[in-house]
């Protein structure tokens, strides 16, 4: 490790500490930082090093190092950039992934940092000189390729540069022309318009006129005549000869080489590879035709790594490989998903322990700030819809469905399938969300009928409701919040299920009040509790949960040693729901009577360690294309995605790890819901990121123009873009020219359910009596106040706790709803216990001034006292006192805020909460 410290360039001191981009350039063989104002401007005669740092939810940092080589860069500068990129990786602990980027052939990940594009400038970077503006504006002809990221290249200003396949931009002093080849795609034309916008704003100060020229159409259009006059008059474009290049095979011929210390390559494997082939004291090259990976073991020295990298580059040059061949360098432990996919037995690296370690660090930070934190509350699910709407549930039985009434609608059976319709208010109109809930032991025919009937039901309603397919045991948190209290029992009432167990001579385990049964109680709050029937054996117990054991005339409650007072409150509530007559016998773990074990068939071992909660990283967006010939899907990730990546011609998958969203554009070739869910299933089966995605992961189907808030929260959403007519090119052209035709969605008043399925409509208030044995009425969800509350939903938060500090710190918790009906009906005993728990979690002094914790505020408060950044960051040596610890950024001056965040406060507070928290974490303000 001492060698590592001595070889690291001084320019890399403090690199990678904060999230975001950092760029250096090679100037006179020295590493020189590039000023932030020049980020995205690359000179074709220079070589650059680019570091991108991402803060993960688990608290760690992911870093990618790219070295970019201009087409006119000196060979010595290119070699220096390669060596310095390795040194930067060493400075970062040898955990970064290194990419070689060649001008014109950059990776999509690299280009995604500089949206919409990079346009390399002729010349060489100089740290001491500012660019001198030319007296005469130079006319430039640019070609644009790519439908997701744009490869922009300047070509000679000549008619011979034009062709029918690409999109071109002719940039003149007063006007920008977009010429679309007749064989270019709509998506390519739309992305080229983003480049036009970029050129207009950065080269013309937003004052240039824009004209769109379509290949082959020029009759009576003065813009077309002006365009061709710049080329000396119109003449037909030469037709290109058909491409004779041999197409690369879809499955590359993979070869693994060992690289010796002398730089020699020795092949050791091909085709099926094993992780055991990689030794930590050696270096290997994985040749995948158009992609080359160099893997370096942790035990190799920096000097050896430089030899390995140099040998690989020399090999590529000697073989006259395609200039666009990707070259990626990996140190042991930093392997990419694609690299691991070439090995048959690469283990998945899911480490829930990191989540708990991160929570421990947060607890330590709170303690440093003066709070005596015994334990941190579990991170609650942030929902984005009002969960006080109307719920209706139908059971599916042999192509028929029947509406459930009263408490029956919150009792589901494993052998049955159900259709759930949830109606709620959002943006002054009624929205519908449908779930097809499939019991784990349900019959395949019932599952198909459930999805088909749900689709028919959704089609009978105005608009395009969101549809979701979920399997028992994989329910998203939002589903649980909609039900609030839910019991899942064994058995079923479906005639197909009954016939199946009869034909196979299975015991009918269908639950009833006289059944001997064991229920596990779980939940994260008073509005999210479930009782799940488990196998009647002691091995089903777990020290992290509470249980209800129903045995004849006796009923036991069992509390594990790792449970909290909150869990005990949940246990009491579910006990009232399952059993309303018998007096329970309370049992603590370790003090069970013999009769308890006898009912469970004897004492056996069961899990006694705390269950570790896995963290969920930020979502990924993919394009998803179904190949008609084979039925397979082609999936491609979109890096650093935005709303503009949701192109109306495409189907995209938003992978949120615990659930996926299939977004279907209005002009996509996927029409039916069945097609959509089939695509979703294939995506889950492929598990593109090798993250251990289950094929049982919930699938949501979202239609363009009808995106719910729990989908749009992942974007910086502009609703006006979602309501525009036309294809993606026409929409962006309209925005560019300043007129944005909108397809306004009419406001709808709540309507009655379709008579085909139900003759009576369930009102918002009438279902309260079915959902809580403690008369806990429905109220605003914990998320509806956090994100665009409906006009019909109160958003004022009022105190529900006697402790001032507790109220302040947990202003967004389930204790502080802002709903008077909730407070009036909340069981006093439950509230006292819960408040006592919160008080135990946080014991703060009464004279500490904490300030307002309205974290969801989008207003900038200029009345707050300003403090310098060094005093506001979490681990400050001289921390500011009397501030709201959850909104440290609000106390920065406007100037320092702009410097640190790269945006104004007004823009920052319009970002989704998860985006804001990501920025704050990267600056140690969270």
Q: Which residue has the higher pLDDT, 175 or 775?
A: 175
Q: For residue 475, what pLDDT is reported? A: 95
Q: CA 734 to CA 749: how far, in whole Å?
A: 32
Per-residue CA distances from 664 to 650, 668, 676, 745 (Å): 7, 6, 8, 18
Query: Which bin fits 107, alpha (ψ -120 to 50), beta or left (φ > 0)?
Result: beta
Q: Could you report how far apart the first and last alpha carbons of the chain are, in Å?
A: 32
> Do 154 and 169 meet the contact criterion of CB atoms below 8 Å apart?
no
What average pLDDT does this structure show over 249-253? 61
- Enumerate residues 6+ apart whose C-beta is below 8 A from 465: 431, 432, 433, 434, 458, 706
pLDDT band at 120 (very low <50, low <70, confident <90, very high): very high
Domain boundary among 341, 360, 375: 341
Do 269 and 315 belong together in one domain? yes
Is residue 364 one of the residues assigned to a domain?
Answer: no
Q: CA 165 to CA 109: how far, in whole Å?
A: 24
Chain segment 376-418, per-residue pLDDT in tens: 444 445 678 888 899 999 999 988 999 999 999 999 999 999 9
Question: Would you tell me the crossing angle of helices 828-841 and 565-578 to the nearest 10 degrees?
Answer: 160
Is residue 851 one of the residues assigned to a domain?
Answer: no
* Long-range contacts, stretch 828-837, CB < 8 angstroms, 24+ apart: 829/572, 830/526, 830/569, 830/572, 830/573, 830/774, 831/800, 833/565, 833/566, 833/568, 833/569, 834/526, 834/565, 834/566, 834/569, 835/800, 835/801, 835/802, 835/803, 835/806, 836/565, 837/564, 837/565, 837/566
Q: For residue 61, what pLDDT is reported? A: 86
Question: Would you tell me the crossing angle of helices 444-459 and 673-686 to the nearest 10 degrees?
Answer: 130
Domain boundary among 323, 341, 359: 341
* Length in residues, the chain: 926
Q: For residue 520, what pLDDT is reported? A: 97
Q: For residue 269, what pLDDT is reported? A: 86
Do 629 and 725 belong together in one domain? yes
Per-residue CA distances from 683 to 108, 534, 693, 772 (Å): 21, 31, 9, 38
Neighbours of 280 (CB within 10 A): 11
pLDDT band at 241 (very low <50, low <70, confident <90, very high): low
Q: Which residue has the higher pLDDT, 374 or 721?
A: 721
Do 270 and 334 belong together in one domain? yes
Is residue 358 one of the residues assigned to a domain?
Answer: no
pLDDT at 5 over 70: no
Q: CA 800 to CA 823: how far, in whole Å?
A: 7
Do 695 and 631 belong together in one domain? yes
Q: Which residue has the higher pLDDT, 176 or 581?
A: 176
Do 522 and 588 belong together in one domain? yes
The H or E element spanning position 437 is: strand 429-438
pLDDT at 153 over 90: yes
Q: CA 736 to CA 587: how far, in whole Å?
A: 69
State both tokens at 610: 């705390």
Is residue 888 one of the residues assigned to a domain?
Answer: yes
Do 630 and 715 belong together in one domain? yes
What average pLDDT does this structure show over 246-256? 65
State both tokens at 549: 């054991």
Domain of 672, CATH number, reads 3.40.20.10
CA-derived radius of gyration, the chain: 31
Query: 485 - beta bridge partners?
Result: 529
Is residue 582 one of the residues assigned to a domain?
Answer: yes
pLDDT at 836 over 70: no
Q: Which residue has the higher pLDDT, 900 or 52?
A: 52
DSSP string, 379-434: PPP---S-S-SEEEEEEEETTEEEE--GGGGGEEETT-EEEEEEEEEETTEEEEEE
- Enumerate residues 6+ apart whose C-beta is below 8 A from 12: 24, 31, 87, 88, 91
Burial of 502 (0-12, 13-18, 19+ CB in 10 A): exposed
State both tokens at 632: 């397979």
Query: 626 - beta bridge partners?
Result: 633
Burial of 281 (0-12, 13-18, 19+ CB in 10 A): exposed
Q: CA 308 to CA 261: how far, in whole Å?
A: 7
pLDDT band at 240 (very low <50, low <70, confident <90, very high): low
Burial of 626 (0-12, 13-18, 19+ CB in 10 A): middle
Neighbours of 706 (CB within 10 A): 16
Domain boundary among 341, 364, 398: 341
Rounded to 5 degrees, φ, ψ at 671 are -110, -45
Strand, helix or coil for residue 527: coil
Q: CA 513 to CA 521: how far, in whole Å?
A: 17
Do 657 and 597 belong together in one domain? no
CA-closest candidate to residue 99, choices 150, 50, 32: 50
Q: CA 465 to CA 87: how far, in whole Å?
A: 53
Which of 152-161, 167-176, 734-743, 867-876 comes out lowest in average pLDDT?
734-743
Q: For residue 808, what pLDDT is reported? A: 34
The H or E element spanning position 176 is: strand 175-180
Burial 298-324 (b: 16+ CB within 10 A, else e): eebebebbbbbbebbbebbeeeeeeee
% of the chain at pLDDT higher than 90: 48
CA-closest candidate to residue 665, choices 638, 683, 647: 647
Chain segment 625-665, per-residue pLDDT in tens: 887 767 788 999 999 999 999 999 999 999 998 999 999 99
Q: For residue 247, what pLDDT is reported? A: 46
What average pLDDT does this structure show over 448-469? 93
pTM, two decimals, is 0.77
**C-alpha 610, offset from chain centre:** 27
Most confident by average pLDDT, 72-81, 223-232, 719-728: 72-81
Domain of 907, CATH number, reads 1.10.950.10
Is residue 912 one of the residues assigned to a domain?
Answer: yes
> Do 745 and 705 meet the contact criterion of CB atoms below 8 Å apart?
yes
For the chain, helix, strand, coil in percent to 5 are 30, 20, 50
Domain count for the chain, please give it.
6
The domain of 582 spans 512-601
Per-residue CA distances from 332 to 195, 232, 282, 291 (Å): 39, 58, 10, 18
Whole-number mean pLDDT of the chain?
81
Per-residue CA distances from 403 to 132, 419, 420 (Å): 75, 9, 10
> Do 469 and 453 meet the contact criterion of CB atoms below 8 Å apart?
no
Strand, helix or coil for residue 259: strand
pLDDT band at 135 (very low <50, low <70, confident <90, very high): low
Burial 116-155 (b: 16+ CB within 10 A, else e): bbbbbbeebbeeeeeeeeeeeeeeebbbbbbbbbbbbebe
Q: Counting runs of H as helices and runs of E as strands, what totals does the chain give?
A: 24, 34
Q: CA 409 to CA 411: how far, in whole Å?
A: 6
Which ranges of 204-301 would DSSP assign to H, the alpha helix?
222-229
Q: Which residue has the higher pLDDT, 316 or 437?
A: 437
Q: For residue 165, what pLDDT is reported? A: 92
pLDDT at 14 over 80: yes
Do 583 and 671 belong together in one domain? no
Do 582 and 629 belong together in one domain? no
pLDDT band at 770 (very low <50, low <70, confident <90, very high): very low
> Tokens 């094929």 identify what position?
695
Which of 147-156, 524-533, 568-577, 824-833 comes out lowest in average pLDDT?
824-833
Which of 575-584, 669-678, 767-776 comes out lowest in average pLDDT?
767-776
Rounded to 5 degrees, φ, ψ at 634 are -110, 120
Do 71 and 165 belong together in one domain? no
Neighbours of 28 (CB within 10 A): 9
pLDDT band at 848 (very low <50, low <70, confident <90, very high): very low
Is residue 771 one of the residues assigned to a domain?
Answer: no
Do 290 and 330 belong together in one domain? yes
Is residue 577 one of the residues assigned to a domain?
Answer: yes
Cis amide bond preceding 366, omega within 30: no
Q: For residue 539, what pLDDT is reported? A: 95
Q: CA 211 to CA 179: how far, in whole Å?
A: 9
Strand, helix or coil for residue 266: strand
CA-closest candidate to residue 439, choices 405, 502, 397, 390: 397
DSSP string, 600-662: TTS------SPPPPPP----EEEEEEE-TTT--EEEEEETT--GGG--TT-EEEEE-SS-EEE
State both tokens at 536: 């009647």
pLDDT at 814 over 80: no
> Do 500 and 445 meet the contact criterion of CB atoms below 8 Å apart?
no
pLDDT at 70 over 90: yes
Strand, helix or coil for residue 915: helix
Chain segment 209-218, per-residue pLDDT in tens: 999 999 887 6
Do 89 and 61 belong together in one domain? yes
CA-closest candidate to residue 46, choices 24, 8, 72: 72
């Amino acid at each position: 490790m001492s060698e590592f410290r001595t070889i690291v360039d001084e320019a890399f001191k403090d690199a990678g500490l904060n999230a975001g981009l950092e760029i250096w350039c090679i100037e006179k063989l020295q590493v020189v930082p590039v000023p932030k104002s020049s980020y995205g401007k690359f000179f074709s005669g220079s070589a650059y090093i680019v570091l991108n740092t991402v803060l993960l939810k688990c608290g760690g940092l992911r870093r990618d190092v790219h070295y970019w080589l201009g087409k006119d860069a000196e060979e010595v500068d290119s070699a220096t950039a390669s060596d310095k990129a390795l040194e930067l990786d060493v400075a970062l602990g040898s955990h970064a992934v290194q990419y070689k980027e060649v001008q014109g052939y950059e990776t999509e990940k690299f280009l995604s940092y500089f949206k919409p594009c990079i346009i390399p400038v002729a010349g060489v970077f100089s740290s001491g000189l500012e660019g001198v503006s030319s007296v005469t504006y130079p006319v430039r002809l640019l070609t644009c390729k790519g439908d997701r990221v744009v490869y922009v290249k300047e070509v000679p200003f000549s008619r011979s540069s034009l062709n029918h396949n690409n999109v071109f931009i002719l940039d003149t002093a007063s006007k920008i022309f977009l010429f679309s080849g007749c064989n270019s795609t709509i998506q390519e034309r739309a992305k080229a318009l983003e480049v036009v916008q970029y050129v207009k704003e950065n080269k013309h100060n937003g004052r240039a006129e824009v004209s769109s020229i379509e290949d082959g159409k020029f009759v009576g259009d003065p813009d077309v005549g002006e365009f061709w006059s710049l080329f000396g008059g119109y003449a037909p474009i030469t037709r290109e000869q058909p491409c004779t290049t041999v197409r690369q095979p879809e499955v590359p011929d993979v070869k693994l080489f060992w690289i010796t210390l002398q730089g020699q390559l020795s092949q050791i494997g091909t085709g099926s590879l094993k992780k055991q082939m990689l030794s930590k004291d050696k270096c290997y090259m994985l040749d995948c035709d158009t992609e080359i990976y160099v893997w370096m073991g942790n035990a190799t020295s920096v000097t050896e790594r430089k030899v390995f990298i140099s040998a690989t580059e020399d090999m590529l040059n000697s073989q006259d490989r395609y200039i666009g061949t990707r070259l990626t360098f990996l140190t042991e432990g930093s392997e990419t998903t694609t690299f691991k996919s070439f090995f048959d037995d690469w283990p998945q690296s899911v480490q829930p322990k990191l989540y708990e370690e991160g929570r421990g660090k947060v607890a330590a930070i709170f303690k440093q700030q003066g709070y005596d934190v015994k334990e941190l509350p579990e991170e609650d699910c942030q929902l984005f819809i009002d969960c006080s709407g109307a719920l209706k549930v139908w059971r599916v039985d042999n192509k028929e469905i029947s509406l459930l009434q009263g408490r029956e609608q919150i009792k589901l059976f494993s052998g049955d399938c159900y259709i759930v319709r949830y109606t709620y208010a959002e943006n002054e109109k009624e929205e519908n969300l449908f779930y097809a809930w499939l019991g784990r032991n349900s019959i395949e025919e019932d599952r198909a009928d459930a999805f088909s009937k749900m689709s028919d039901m959704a089609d009978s309603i105005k608009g395009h409701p969101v549809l979701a397919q979920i399997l028992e045991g994989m329910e998203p948190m939002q589903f649980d919040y909609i039900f609030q209290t839910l019991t899942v029992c064994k058995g079923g009432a479906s005639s197909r299920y009954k016939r199946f167990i009869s034909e196979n001579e299975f015991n009918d385990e269908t639950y009833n009040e006289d059944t001997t049964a064991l229920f596990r109680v779980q939940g994260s709050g008073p509005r999210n509790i479930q009782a799940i029937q488990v196998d009647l054996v002691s091995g089903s117990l777990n020290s992290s949960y509470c249980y209800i054991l129903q045995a004849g005339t006796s009923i036991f409650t069992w509390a594990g040693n790792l449970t909290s007072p909150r869990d005990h409150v949940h246990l009491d509530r579910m006990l009232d729901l399952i059993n309303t007559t018998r007096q329970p016998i309370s049992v603590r773990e370790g003090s069970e009577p013999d009769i308890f074990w006898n009912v469970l068939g004897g004492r056996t071992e069961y899990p006694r360690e705390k269950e570790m909660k896995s963290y969920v990283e930020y979502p990924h967006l993919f394009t998803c294309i179904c190949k008609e010939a084979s039925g397979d899907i082609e999936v491609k990730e979109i890096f650093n995605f935005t709303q503009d990546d949701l192109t109306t011609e495409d189907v995209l998958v938003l992978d949120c790890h615990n659930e996926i969203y299939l977004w279907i554009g209005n002009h996509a070739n996927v029409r039916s819901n069945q097609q959509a869910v089939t695509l979703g299933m294939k995506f889950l089966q492929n598990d593109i990121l090798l993250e251990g995605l289950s094929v049982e992961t919930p699938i949501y189907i979202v239609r363009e123009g009808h995106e719910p808030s729990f989908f749009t929260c992942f974007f910086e959403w502009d609703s006006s873009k979602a309501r525009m007519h036309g294809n993606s090119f026409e929409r962006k052209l309209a925005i560019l020219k300043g007129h944005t035709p909108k397809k306004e969605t009419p406001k709808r008043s709540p309507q009655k359910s379709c008579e085909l399925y139900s003759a009576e409509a369930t009102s918002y208030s009438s279902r309260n009596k079915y959902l809580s044995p403690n008369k806990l009425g429905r109220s605003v969800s914990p998320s509806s106040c956090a994100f665009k509350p409906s006009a019909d939903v109160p958003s004022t938060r009022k105190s529900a706790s006697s402790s001032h500090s507790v109220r302040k710190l947990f202003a967004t918790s389930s204790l502080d709803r802002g709903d008077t009906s909730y407070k009036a009906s909340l069981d006093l005993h439950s509230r006292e216990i819960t408040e006592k728990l919160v008080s135990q979690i946080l014991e703060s002094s009464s004279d500490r001034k904490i300030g307002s914790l309205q974290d969801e505020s989008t207003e900038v408060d200029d009345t707050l006292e300003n403090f310098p950044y060094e005093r506001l960051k979490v681990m400050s040596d001289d921390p500011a006192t009397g501030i709201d610890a959850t909104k440290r950024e609000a106390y920065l001056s406007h100037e320092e805020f702009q410097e640190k965040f790269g945006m104004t406060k007004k823009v920052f507070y319009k970002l989704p909460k998860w985006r804001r928290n990501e920025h704050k974490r990267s600056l140690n303000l969270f």
